[in-house]
Amino acid sequence: MNVLITGAKGFIGRNLVSQLRNIQSGKVKNYNVSGELNVFEYDVDSDSKKLEDYCKEADFVFNLAGVNRPKDESEFKKGNFEFASTLLETLKKHSNSCPVMISSSIQAALDNPYGESKRAGEDLMFEYARETGARVLVYRFPNVFGKWCRPNYNSAVATFCHNIANDLPVQVNDGSVMMRLVYVDDVVDELIGALSGDEHRDGNYCFVPTVHEIELSKIVDLILSFKKDRESLNVPDMEDPFTKKLYSTYLSYLPKYGFGYPLKMNVDDRGSFTEIIRTSDRGQFSVNISKPGITKGNHWHHTKNEKFLVVSGRGVIRFRDMNTPNGEVIEYFVSGEKMEVIDIPTGYTHNIENLGKGEMVTFMWCNECFDPERPDAYFEKV
C-alpha cells in the first residue's frame, strides 16, 4: 500500500509518519495493515513535481497540510483550500480515486476566516466524492495535544507545557473555559485504522472516539503539579487517562539539560538509603546500598510491608516470626545474578546482610511512605 501524507512535517503528520515507519519496519504489529507499506512524505518545502508522482501511485491520501496561524488572513484560503483543490485535481488527472482523508477543525462550524477556509475544504471534498465516487474521510478535530506540537502557536497545552517546563510565565485569561482535547496517539491510531476501513464515522464526518473535556485552569494546575512532583518524589495518577497523556506530553517539553533531578542520599558508614518515588496510594520506592559485611534491619512491622530485590551483589535476608519466641530463623539467599523479589510479611522481624566483597544494591518497595510520626518499625534482632 502506498500512503501519501501531505503536511508530513507538521504536528500530526510527524506523529503519523513515525508510526507508519514503525509498521513499515516491523517494529509494531498491532495494526490491521496488510501488505507492503510505502510512505510518501510531502510538505510545503517539497518539490512540487513529487506531488504528481505521489498522486499517481497513492493508494490512500492523508491530507494534513494546512494553515492556522498565517501572517495574513488570505493565507487561510491558500493553505486550507487551494492546496486541497490542487491535490484533488492532481488525483483526478491520474484517474486515481483512492480514499482521501482531510484534517478539518471544529472551527469549521464557526464564521471566522479560519473556519470558513476549513469549511470550504470540506465542501470541496464532498463534491469530489460525488464526482469521482472516491471514499472521503473528513475529520473535524478538536484541540490536539501531544509531543512535537509547536508551543506559542495554536495549542494552549503545548504552550503551557513548554513554559512551565522552562520556568516561563503562563497566562490564563479565563480558566473556566472548557477544553475539548484529543491526544495525538489516539489520532494516529484512528487514522491508521482508517487505512483498512475501520474509521469511526457519524454521517459525513469521521471522528476520534476518545475526547477529553476539562477546564483550562485544571489543565494548568495539573502541569504545575507535574513540575512540583519532581521535588516531592511523587508521580501523577496514571489511572486517569488524561493525566497519563498530559504527563507524557509535559515531559517532552523539558529542556534538553533538564531531564535529570537530584535525590537526597542518606549516607552513613553502613552505606546509603535513597527514596526514589513516593505515592499516596502505591507506596514508596527506594534503593538501599550496603557495604560488605553490613547487616541492616533487625526490626518488624504491624502493618507496613515491603518487597526487597537485590540487583547487584549477594546477600541473605533472614526472618523470625515474632509470634514464636526463639523460633526458627528463615534464610533467603539473594543475588543480582538471579534476581528474585522477597516479600517482607508483617509480624516477622527481619534483616538483610551483605555477604559479598563489594557493595550490595537492593531495590525496595514499601506499601506506605515513611511517616516519622508513625514509623511502624520496632527493633528486634532476628
Asked if the domains 2-230 and 265-379 are classified in one and the same CATH topology, the answer is: no
Distance CA 271, CA 292 (A): 9
Q: How confident is the model at residue 32 (pLDDT cuts 50, 70, 90)?
A: confident
Rounded to 10 deg, the angle between the 83-93 and 48-57 helix axes is 50
Q: Which one from 42, 114, 247, 250 is the annotated catalytic residue?
A: 114
Q: How confident is the model at residue 109 (pLDDT cuts 50, 70, 90)?
A: low
The pLDDT of residue 70: 47
Query: Is-contact 43 64, C-beta < 8 A?
Result: no
User: Among 251-255, 364-368, 371-375, where is mean pLDDT lowest?
Assistant: 371-375
- What's the mean pLDDT when you consider all of the chain? 92
Q: How confident is the model at residue 181 (pLDDT cuts 50, 70, 90)?
A: very high
Distance CA 251, CA 261 (A): 13
The pLDDT of residue 107: 74
Q: pLDDT tens, 129-171? A: 999 999 999 999 999 999 999 999 889 999 999 999 999 999 9
Rounded to an integer, the average pLDDT of 300-311 is 97
The residue extents of the domains of the chain are: 2-230, 265-379
Q: pLDDT tens, 216-272? A: 999 999 999 999 999 999 999 999 999 999 999 999 999 999 999 999 999 999 999
- With 60 as the cut, is the pLDDT of residue 122 above it? yes
The pLDDT of residue 323: 93
% of the chain exceeding 90 in pLDDT:
83
- With 90 as the cut, is the pLDDT of residue 30 above it? no
The three grid cell numbers given for residue 72, joined into one nine-digit string: 495574513
The domain defined by 265-379 carries CATH number 2.40.110.20:
no
Q: How confident is the model at residue 26 (pLDDT cuts 50, 70, 90)?
A: confident
Catalytic residue list contains 257: no
% of the chain exceeding 70 in pLDDT:
94
CA distances 222 to 214, 240, 250, 283, Å, are: 11, 12, 10, 21
The pLDDT of residue 80: 58
CA distances 211 to 110, 115, 165, 216, 373, Å, are: 20, 20, 25, 15, 44
Rounded to an integer, the average pLDDT of 41-60 is 95
Rounded to an integer, the average pLDDT of 279-287 is 94
Q: Tell me the CATH number of domain 2-230, given options 3.40.50.300, 3.40.30.10, 1.10.10.10, 3.40.50.720.
A: 3.40.50.720
The pLDDT of residue 72: 52
Give this prediction's pTM. 0.90
